A and B are shown apart, each in its own frame.
Chain A
Amino acid sequence: MLVPVSYNIRNLVVRRTTTLMTALGVGLTVSVLVGIGTLVEGLRTSLEVGGDPLNLIVMRQGSTAELVSVVSKEDFEQLKFAPGIATNGGEPLISHEVLTVVNLPLRTDPESVSNITLRGLSPVGTRMRPGVRLTEGRWFETGRREVTVGKAVNAKRAGTSVGDMLYFGRGDWEVVGVFETDQGAFNSEIWADGNLAAADLGRGSMRSSILVRAQDEVAAKALTSLVADDQRLTLEAERESEYYAKQMVSAGPVQGLGALIAVIMAVGSCFAAMNTMFAAVANRAREVGILRLLGFSRVSILTSFMLESLLLSLVGGLLGCLMVAPLHGFEGRIGNFTTFAETSFQFQLTPQYVVGGMVFAAVMGVVGGFIPSWLAARKSVLGSLGAV
């Protein structure tokens, strides 16, 4: 039979200052781990939503990003009428796109300038991203020096409100609208007419990539093979979703550093929990003796103190999750090592990370509490009572 849990809970309450300080230590550790998790999850969601499963991105062989890829007009024309490409009203869903970056300052800090992705595309390219919708103004018109900006760009970057003028290439471009996607990477882009943008940037007939929509899964595989096998093209195709998933590499260093800090802090928190439990065991040695005298077994004592350590760390875990909770939905930005541009995302605190944080806290409690609990259980009744 186990010692009642109320005994442990009340002891934690009685030693509330020690309990709170230890729980806070555990909580900070959990908050680092879960906080990094919310960042990674937010970035992952952002990049996942950025890709349609039937969309293929075609780039120059060996290119890791659209920004460093070159695809000619001739290549585009060859591919345009390949079998398996989806159509809309007889028009093939294929878009020849140019990518570059433009420097824009923050609205709040004009000195802080970052690379923002500028995508030149055709109206078909716009329609090929069905998750994208206008929230303000209108779409850019073909042949006019107009841009439509993503929601995140509009929110953070100066000169991106509807009616503002942006300067890049050979002159000014008018902001005529704002679009958004469901947390997609496109929110961090500026879109303009592809032909005009390419001309302005001095690209001639060269673009960066081709976006093509396959009719179905089988067609997507066939198109991928066709692009790879055609010796004239020297291009390669991959799923748009996979392309964006690869960009998760940007989160790698942050994730690794966060995990390292969390592990180092966890060692400290384990010792804090251990110290607290050692103090608890020392202060309650006589109580342990009484419980043993009444007939409670060593296993009951061990379990009781382990449970107390576990409760302590779970309180810490809960504190840690509460500390991170305000981050949920908060908009963040990170430099994308693949596109060399900024990617916006929203921190996402998911149930999985909350559970993970609580499990992490529990592990700290169990590891930190074991030795003191074991020593408490190991003592003889008389030793605990202080009679010998």
Chain B
Amino acid sequence: MSASFAVELRGVLKEYVRAEYSVRALDNISLDIKAGEFFCLMGPSGSGKSTLLHLVAGIDKPTDGRVSVLGQDLSELTDRELAHWRSENIGYVFQTFNLIPVLTALENVELPLLLTGLRRKDRLQRARTALGVVGLADRLDHRPQQLSGGQEQRVAIARALVTDPSIILADEPTGELDAAAADDVLSILKILNERHGKTIIMVTHDPRARSYARKSSYLDKGLLGPMPGEA
């Protein structure tokens, strides 16, 4: 398995089994994403995009097949090891921001650093820097409800990058934002990719968002293929 690939999926199958029926969310997916890539995954709702992101983040396990991220076969890790691995290598950005409402922007960004063993002074310094990168140096003490949607998403990005992970996973990061705020967020992701070498894997419905990515694929009914009209 080549380390030049940030993500390698081989024959990945994911089925959700319920009492009466089963749903195949991903059907024999094989995919390579290079390190330093800005990869966009598009597709209709329920196509399995988020499921694929969950597998890469190690918060879900495939029914069959293999998921390797940064050269690590995730099936070899225990829950505890996965949590540690994730905190070091993965940053995650959600559609609905998912900030902790009772904590300030600075405290939200500091959260992942609590797992690093850094001293408080260093943690706060790094959190301030991360918020500076996303243009929120003047909103450190604001709670999420005191911020606009775009600002909340920028805080979420700062939280995702503060541990300096190699990969940032973004699940519909512009889904809740207006056009201007969406452009801001996508620009930040692009800067993180181009200037800081982060591998970005973004799931989106938004065709405009796709234009920020360098590579894209289309997922429909659990099957991966080229973008419609580009085959």
Q: Which residues of A contact B (CB under 8 A)?
A: 1-4, 6-7, 10-11, 13-14, 286-287, 289-298, 380-382, 385, 387-388
List A contacts of B54 (CB < 8 A). Answer: 382, 387
Knowing A7-B102, A382-B59 are in contact, say whether A296-B83 is a contact too (CB < 8 A). Answer: yes
List B contacts of A381 (CB < 8 A). Answer: 59
> Contact size class for B?
20 to 34
The stretch of B67-75, B108-116, B127-135, B208-216 in contact with A is B108-116
List B contacts of A291 (CB < 8 A). Answer: 100, 111
Q: How far is the CB of A386 from chain B (nearest CB, A)?
A: 10
The stretch of B32-40, B84-92, B197-205, B219-227 in contact with A is B84-92
In the complex the two chains form, is A296's CB within 8 Å of B102's CB?
A: no
A387 to B48, CA, bound (A): 12
Given A291-B111, A292-B59, A293-B92, 7 other A-B residues pairs in contact with their CB atoms under 8 A: A4-B114, A7-B103, A295-B88, A295-B112, A297-B80, A385-B98, A387-B50
Q: How far is the CB of B45 from chain A (nearest CB, A)?
A: 13
A10 to B100, CA, bound (A): 11
In the complex the two chains form, is A295's CB within 8 Å of B87's CB?
A: yes
In the complex the two chains form, is A294's CB within 8 Å of B115's CB?
A: yes
With an 8 A cutoff between CB atoms, is B60 at the interface?
yes
Q: Is the interface of B mostly helix, strand, loop or mixed?
A: helix
In the complex the two chains form, is A295's CB within 8 Å of B102's CB?
A: no
Q: How far is the CB of A314 from chain B (nearest CB, A)?
A: 19
User: Whose C-beta in chain B lies nearest to the C-beta of A299?
Assistant: B80
A2 to B114, CA, bound (A): 8
Q: How far is the CB of B108 from chain A (nearest CB, A)?
A: 9
With an 8 A cutoff between CB atoms, is B107 at the interface?
yes
List B contacts of A292 (CB < 8 A). Answer: 59, 83
Which residue from A6, A293, A298, A388 sits with its C-beta under 8 Å from B103?
Answer: A6
Q: How far is the CB of B133 from chain A (nearest CB, A)?
A: 18
Q: How far is the CB of B63 from chain A (nearest CB, A)?
A: 13
Task: Give residues of chain B (138-162) contacting chain A, Cβ–Cβ below 8 Å.
Answer: 159
A114 to B57, CA, bound (A): 79
Q: Is the interface of A mostly helix, strand, loop or mixed?
A: helix
Knowing A293-B59, A295-B84, A295-B86 are in contact, say whether A10-B103 is a contact too (CB < 8 A). Answer: yes
Which residue from A7, A286, A298 sits with its C-beta under 8 Å from B98?
Answer: A286
Q: Which residues of B contact A (CB under 8 A)?
A: 16, 50, 54, 57, 59-60, 79-80, 83-84, 86-88, 92, 98, 100-103, 107, 111-112, 114-115, 117, 159
In the complex the two chains form, is A388's CB within 8 Å of B16's CB?
A: yes
In the complex the two chains form, is A11's CB within 8 Å of B102's CB?
A: yes
Q: How far is the CB of A267 from chain B (nearest CB, A)?
A: 31
A294 to B114, CA, bound (A): 10
Which residue from A6, A296, A382 sits with its C-beta under 8 Å from B60?
Answer: A382
Q: How far is the CB of A140 from chain B (nearest CB, A)?
A: 71
The 9 closest A-B pairs by CB, nearest first: A295-B87, A10-B102, A381-B59, A294-B112, A295-B115, A295-B83, A290-B98, A1-B115, A1-B114
A6 to B106, CA, bound (A): 13
List A contacts of B114 (CB < 8 A). Answer: 1-4
Q: How far is the CB of B80 from chain A (nearest CB, A)?
A: 6
A289 to B57, CA, bound (A): 13
User: Whose C-beta in chain A lies nearest to the C-beta of B59?
Assistant: A381
List B contacts of A380 (CB < 8 A). Answer: 59
Q: How far is the CB of A382 from chain B (nearest CB, A)?
A: 6
For this complex, 22 residue pairs linking A to B, each with C-beta atoms less than 8 Å apart, are A2-B114, A3-B114, A4-B107, A6-B107, A7-B102, A11-B102, A13-B102, A14-B101, A14-B102, A290-B98, A291-B100, A292-B83, A294-B87, A294-B115, A294-B159, A295-B83, A295-B86, A295-B88, A295-B112, A295-B115, A298-B79, A382-B60
List B contacts of A3 (CB < 8 A). Answer: 114
Q: How far is the CB of A9 from chain B (nearest CB, A)?
A: 9
User: Whose C-beta in chain B lies nearest to the C-beta of A294?
Assistant: B112
Q: How far is the CB of A229 from chain B (nearest CB, A)?
A: 75
Q: How far is the CB of A340 from chain B (nearest CB, A)?
A: 61
Q: How far is the CB of A119 from chain B (nearest CB, A)?
A: 65
Q: How far is the CB of B170 from chain A (nearest CB, A)?
A: 14
A287 to B101, CA, bound (A): 9
A6 to B115, CA, bound (A): 16
Knowing A295-B86, A388-B16 are in contact, say whether A290-B103 is a contact too (CB < 8 A). Answer: no
List A contacts of B92 (CB < 8 A). Answer: 293
